[in-house]
């Protein structure tokens, strides 16, 4: 199914460049209202992160939805997983998030959730795109939608997050360095951890519309690592701009990424006979995770990159746990979408119950050295990747040199104009050398 506007995670791009413009969002709001607001459910929730363009797009979407006869419930700045949760619990027909996740403030995007709080299926996205091609028609004035603010949205979500912990589990004064990425979690995340008894040392909690993800958050965890050392914290937690990812650090400031967090959660659940099957990762998951789980007789399955693919595989297998190295983790027994706060709470629960720190909990997994290089290319360059004879030849040469002791992953980004070049192997110097050679080849072949 070929879609014109929807990518791997909604509609995303640079603000002011089609389709991330106010006039397009007006039309998108109307098209979404026509497709999604049918039957007795005619309300749509809208949440956003803290980037400055969110004000403009929130108003445009609200107007488009009202023109289609849909009512709008405005949440204000709210994490993506909170929007998914409130879409379900407010019994609305759909949820919309205005966010470009971990991208800089110059970007923005629109994500949709179904009435069940799950990503829309491709068929529904296609229906919205088809409606976009039709004339903009406003319903009769008597049937126009209305808009209202949901004043207790933050409180509802905070209580939900705390409720994912076993009743009575408290953090007992645990000292935590928390980086909210100047994003959508800046209000709710500190309250969740403090109300559970932690002593929270905050950074990235002063958004100004321009500083979301800027040298902070899960994609830039150095500030969080430094905070762990300076305040002598027991661990650090770095969320991303929209709150669906988490990266952590141990008391020494060493990063614990999504693969290692998956290992910690999976092995803890296995020891309590609560794993319910195996673990789903992606083609980007570290080979060390696969080996460590295999030693514990835990099944492991890889999917293409993206939480949509992980979610589908979990449902098909009847499993509960999956995720990506970026820290986008899914625990379907706790919630039905990636949630950075909920994922962090699961790890904290394990620490409290076991009395062990993160460094000790991850000891059973040894990560293989990985090198990732992002090569900027145009959309045309992305399309030319698979057909490049030179690039395919270099990949074959690299795989021959690795001789089964590593992997090559070469793919277009679904959210940015990039080719992601990733190599993995047991020899760091070799991996870095080969990754640079492949990235240089991609640059020469596809940037022209």
Q: How far is the C-alpha of 255 from the C-alpha of 247, rounded, in Å?
A: 7
Tell me how far CA of residue 176 lies from CA of 173, 220, 325, in angstroms.
9, 17, 22
Q: Which residues pair with 201 in a beta bridge?
A: 177
Q: Residues 369, 429: contact at Cβ < 8 Å?
A: no
Taking residue 2's Cβ as centre, other Cβ atoms within 10 Å add up to: 6
> For residue 137, what are the contacts with CB-CB under 8 A and spacing of at least 6?
none
Tell me how far CA of residue 19 lies from CA of 10, 102, 117, in angstroms.
12, 19, 25
Q: Where are the alpha helices (DSSP H) in 305-388?
A: 307-317, 340-354, 358-361, 379-384
Q: Which residues pair with 370 in a beta bridge?
A: 424
Q: How far is Cα of residue 264 from the mean position of the Cα atoms in its chain?
A: 19
Q: How far is the C-alpha of 105 from the C-alpha of 49, rounded, in Å?
A: 10
- Cα-Cα-Cα-Cα dihedral of 73, 79, 85, 88, to 10°? 30
Q: How far is the C-alpha of 242 from the C-alpha of 259, rounded, in Å?
A: 20
Residues identified as active-site: 101
> For residue 250, what are the contacts with CB-CB under 8 A and spacing of at least 6?
228, 235, 256, 357, 358, 359, 362
3-state SS of 70-99? Answer: CEEEEEEECCHHHHHHHHHHCCCCEEEEEC
Q: What are the tokens at 437?
A: 């050679």
DSSP state of 337: S
- With both helix axes pointing from N to C terminus, report the angle between 340-354 and 258-271 in degrees, rounded to the nearest 10: 50
Using CB atoms within 10 A of its CB, is residue 361 exposed (0-12), middle (13-18) or buried (19+)? Answer: buried
Tell me how far CA of residue 110 lies from CA of 186, 190, 267, 322, in angstroms.
20, 26, 36, 24
Q: What is the largest CA-CA distance in the chain?
A: 70
């Amino acid at each position: 199914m070929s879609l014109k506007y929807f990518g791997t995670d909604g509609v995303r791009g640079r603000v002011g460049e089609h389709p991330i413009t106010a006039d397009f969002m007006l039309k998108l709001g109307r098209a979404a209202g026509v497709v999604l607001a049918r039957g007795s459910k005619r309300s749509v929730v809208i949440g956003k992160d803290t980037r400055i363009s969110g004000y403009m797009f929130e108003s445009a979407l609200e107007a488009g939805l009202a023109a289609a006869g849909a009512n709008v419930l405005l949440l204000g700045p709210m994490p993506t997983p909170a929007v998914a949760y409130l879409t379900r619990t407010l019994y609305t027909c759909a949820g919309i998030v205005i966010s470009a996740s971990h991208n800089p403030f110059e970007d923005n995007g629109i994500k949709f959730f179904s009435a069940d709080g799950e990503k829309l299926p491709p068929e529904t996205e296609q229906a919205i795109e088809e409606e976009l091609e039709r004339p903009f028609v406003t319903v009769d004035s008597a049937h126009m939608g209305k808009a209202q603010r949901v004043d207790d949205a933050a409180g509802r979500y905070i209580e939900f997050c705390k409720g994912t912990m076993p009743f009575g589990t408290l953090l007992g004064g645990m000292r935590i360095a928390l980086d909210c990425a100047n994003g959508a979690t800046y209000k709710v995340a500190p309250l969740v951890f403090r109300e559970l008894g932690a002593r929270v040392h905050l950074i990235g909690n002063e958004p100004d519309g321009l500083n979301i993800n800027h040298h902070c958050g899960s994609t830039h965890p150095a500030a969080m690592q430094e905070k762990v050392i300076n305040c002598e914290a027991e661990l650090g937690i770095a969320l991303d701009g929209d709150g669906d990812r988490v990266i952590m650090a141990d008391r020494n400031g060493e990063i614990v990424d999504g693969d290692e967090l998956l290992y910690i959660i999976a092995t803890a659940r296995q020891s309590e006979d609560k794993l319910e099957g195996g673990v789903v990762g992606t083609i980007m998951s570290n080979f060390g995770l696969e080996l460590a789980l295999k030693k514990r007789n835990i099944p492991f399955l890889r999917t293409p990159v993206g939480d949509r693919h992980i979610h589908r595989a979990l449902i098909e297998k009847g499993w509960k746990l999956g995720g990506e190295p970026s820290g986008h983790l899914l625990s379907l027994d706790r919630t039905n979408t990636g949630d950075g706060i909920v994922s962090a709470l699961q790890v904290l629960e394990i620490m409290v119950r076991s009395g062990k720190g993160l460094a000790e909990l991850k000891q059973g997994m040894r990560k293989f050295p990985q090198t990732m290089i992002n090569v900027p290319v145009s959309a045309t360059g992305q399309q030319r990747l698979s057909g490049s004879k030179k690039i395919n030849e270099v990949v074959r040469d690299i795989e021959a040199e690795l001789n089964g002791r590593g992997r090559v992953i070469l793919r277009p980004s679904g959210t940015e104009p990039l080719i992601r070049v990733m190599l993995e192997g047991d020899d760091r110097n070799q991996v870095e050398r080969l990754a640079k050679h492949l990235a240089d080849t991609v640059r020469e072949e596809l940037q022209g």
